[in-house]
Amino acid sequence: METYELLAQLTKEERIDRYLAENLENLSRSRIQRLIELGEVSINGNICANKKELLKQGDRLVISIPDPISQTLEPQAIPLEILYEDQDLLVINKPVGLVVHPAPGHQDHTLVNALLAHCPNLSGINGTARPGIVHRLDKDTSGAIVVAKNDLAHQSLQAQIQAKTAKREYLGIVQGVPKLSQGTVNAPIGRHKTNHQKMAIIEDGRIAITHWQVLARGNNYALLKFDLETGRTHQIRVHSAYMGHAIAADPVYAHSIKGIDGQLLHAWKLTFSHPISAERICAIALPPTKFIKFLYRFLNPANIPNFLV
């Protein structure tokens, strides 16, 4: 990883992205804005979460540039649970532990590597490192994810997600039991000020809206259904913790639970219109075995919804 350190020399306040683009010849403004989104830029020891942040004379800046990802992606025969497939797209039930696309620290053995072995022709809209990837799931979040085989399908699916006509429904087991049966969290999310691995509720973050509903209650845990109106990084995990009911076993926003790999959050249902036929498609991904076992151990079996029995 390459690192730059600068001491701001200014006669007046200036936006950080503009200042860095003017003072770092080998980095474009768009590249700097992306590094800010990734939490790789700090001001006086605090991670910068806003590309419009105003710098003052003497501010100490540190910019970290991750090592480049290899652009040579190898097909790897990783088993896939395919929920739906045709010539334009496929929907996968992604397992816990599988990274969606190559990133620093995860150069291979990703969903993309598995997809290339299954279907070498994928949409190229997101570049060579993310072929076919329309949206993402965290490494340890399981469930339904749609992949585009061509650019037309990719553009349609992406537009549906942005227009909120594609519906994403999640199941999550949370710590504690909410008093209300349903509600909405409307709180902006941005990069955590000091820990670039985390997101947080911050005043100048991006708008984030999550609707939730209690499906089953136990003594110390509850099963919730989440509907996303926006799709921010770690949105459900951050909003759940903000509610005071963090996702169980979340190692970042709560704490790990022995025997459970990652947070108990699952992308249960994905509904969208087919890019070519306009047929409404509903893909349902059954949660992992450990998710179901946890439910039956800590919740009243009589309260668990029939579709999980």
Q: How far is CA 196 from CA 112, 135, 190, in A?
A: 25, 21, 10
Give the chain's end-to-end CA distance (angstroms, integer): 48
| Coil, strand or helix at 1 | coil
257-293 per-position pLDDT tens digit: 999 988 999 999 999 999 999 999 999 999 999 999 9
The pLDDT value given to residue 270: 97
Per residue in 95-142, pLDDT tens? 999 999 877 666 788 999 999 999 988 887 766 678 899 999 999 999
Indicate if 138 belongs to the active site: yes
Q: Is 221 helix (H, G, I), strand (E, B) or coil?
A: strand
Q: Which helix (H) or strand (E) holds 55?
A: strand 54-55
In the 8-state DSSP scheme, what is residue 75? P
User: Cα–Cα distance between 114 and 26 in angstroms, integer?
Assistant: 34
Q: What is the pLDDT of residue 192?
A: 87
The residue to which tokens 């993310």 are assigned:
130
Is pTM beyond 0.85 here? no
Catalytic residue from among 17, 88, 138, 250: 138
Asked which of 42-46, 87-91, 170-174, 263-267 is least confident by mean pLDDT, the reply is: 42-46
Question: pLDDT tens digits, residue range 10-46?
Answer: 888 899 998 998 888 778 888 888 888 878 899 998 8
3-state helix, strand, coil in the chain (%, to 5): 20, 30, 50
